[in-house]
Amino acid sequence: MPLLQVDDKGLACAAGGFWIDPWKPVPVAVITHAHADHARRGMGRYYAAAAGLPMLKRRMARDADIVAVPYGERFELGGVTLSFHPAGHCLGSAQVRVEGADDVVVAAGDYKRPVSPGTDPTCEPFEVVPCDTFITEATFALPIYRWDPPEDVATDIVDWWDANRAGPRERQKVSVIAAYSLGKAQRLLALLDRELARRGEARRRVFIHGALEHMIKGYRDQGVEMLPTFRVGESNRARGSVNPFRGHLVMAPPGAMAGPWIKRFGSAKDVDTAFASGWMRIRGVRRRAGYDRGFVISDHADWPSLVRTCVETGAKKVLCTHGNSETLARFLRRQGVDAEPLATAYGDEEDG
């Protein structure tokens, strides 16, 4: 019997009596990171990487039973040995190494690899963990998905922002950018902070949707340096006054972009909208979603990184889940790797 296999509750380890990122209630859950499709309420006990504990606590009920384990520290559950290792996806994200009597399996969860010499200022870099079986995500497992250096994307965003804030105040536009609430929003705020410093400019404030505030505060509490943020609701607009958001950058979750919330910034001619996501690699996606700009930046591995990682682990068996899993598995098989898709319920939240 495989050390890890999918059942109706999640990725199960019968020998250890636990499930990794279960989607139904179980007695013992081992969590890779705090995104909602991987960390659900209602489990008996949670095990998670210590670096991700603050984020996980913000997702769970106050009385949740959570055991935090430092990266690399081995611990026992049932008859197997586990350890957490950095996944580079968001703050505190982890791969789970599971060692049994005859097999070592690594469940990577969601992960990303650096595509330039610079590192993500908001989380620990990915660590390659040798194993016999590697369970990889496949969110962007198509050759078209190749990421540019994030520093270049930050430059493009500031240039776009500057273009919208040029000229007299009454002609400036509001730059509204959509970003996922855990990982992407904080990464952008940190990258933009670095970019402005590189240009020798003072910090600028960014207005945020209230839904982003909770996790941004969590990152600040962990010492992550980002641009200062203010809730949109903290700016009171007097009747007849100049739009106070003109020339400013506003950040919001994607779900807010199509509702009444965005109308507070003025008419379409007063607002320039953008989405920061790996999905923006395909122009048709941006056009269908109605964004004026698309900035290609993702917290998931791109195609070259997915293939490279599967090889670098030295795994004899690769299981591909959530995303273009069949495409990745088929490509790996052509390279001589024993690979196949693995059906799971991951990938419904924060997947860009």
Name the band, by pLDDT with cuts 50, 70 and 90, for residue 286. confident
14 half-sphere exposure, CB direction, 13 A CA radius:
6
Is residue 194 within a helix (H) or strand (E), and if so which, with residue range? helix 184-198
The pLDDT of residue 118 is 74
Site of tokens 């607009």: 237
pLDDT for res 235? 64
- Residue ranges, comma separated, of all CATH 3.40.50.10890 domains in the chain are 150-295
Place of tokens 């008859």: 79
Q: Angle CA(96)–CA(191)–CA(246) in degrees, nearest 5?
A: 130
Measured CA angle at 121 (ends 246, 189), to 5 deg = 10
Task: Determine the 3-state secondary structure of 334 from DSSP.
Answer: helix
Residue 347 banded pLDDT, cuts 50, 70, 90? low
Which residues in the chain are classed under CATH 3.60.15.10? 5-145+299-341
In this predicted structure, what is the pLDDT of residue 49?
Answer: 98
CB–CB of 301/88 below 8 Å?
no
Into which CATH architecture does domain 5-145+299-341 fall?
4-Layer Sandwich (3.60)
184 pLDDT above the threshold of 60: yes
Instruction: Let me know: does 117 contact 110? Beta carbons within 8 Å.
Output: no
Task: Give CA–CA dist 82/16, Å, rounded.
Answer: 9
pTM (2 decimals)? Answer: 0.94
Q: Token digits for 231?
A: 């809730």
Q: Hey, what CATH topology would domain 150-295 get?
A: Rossmann fold (3.40.50)
Picking from 293, 268, 321, the residue whose alpha carbon sits closest to that of residue 23 is 321
Measure the CA–CA gap between 109 and 261, rounded to whole angstroms: 33
293 residue type, one letter: R
More confident residue, 349 or 153: 153
Contacts 24+ apart (CB under 8 A), 326-334: 327/138, 327/141, 327/142, 328/136, 328/138, 328/141, 329/138, 331/307, 332/307
Tens digit of each residue's pLDDT (9 = 90 or more) over 307-333:
999 999 999 999 999 899 999 999 999
Answer whether residue 102 shows pLDDT above 70.
yes
Burial of 159 (0-12, 13-18, 19+ CB in 10 A): exposed
Residue 280 above 70 pLDDT? Answer: yes
Report residue 242's pLDDT band, with 50, 70 and 90 as the boundaries.
low
Tens-place pLDDT, residues 188-203: 999 999 999 999 999 9
pLDDT tier at 3, thresholds 50, 70, 90:
very high
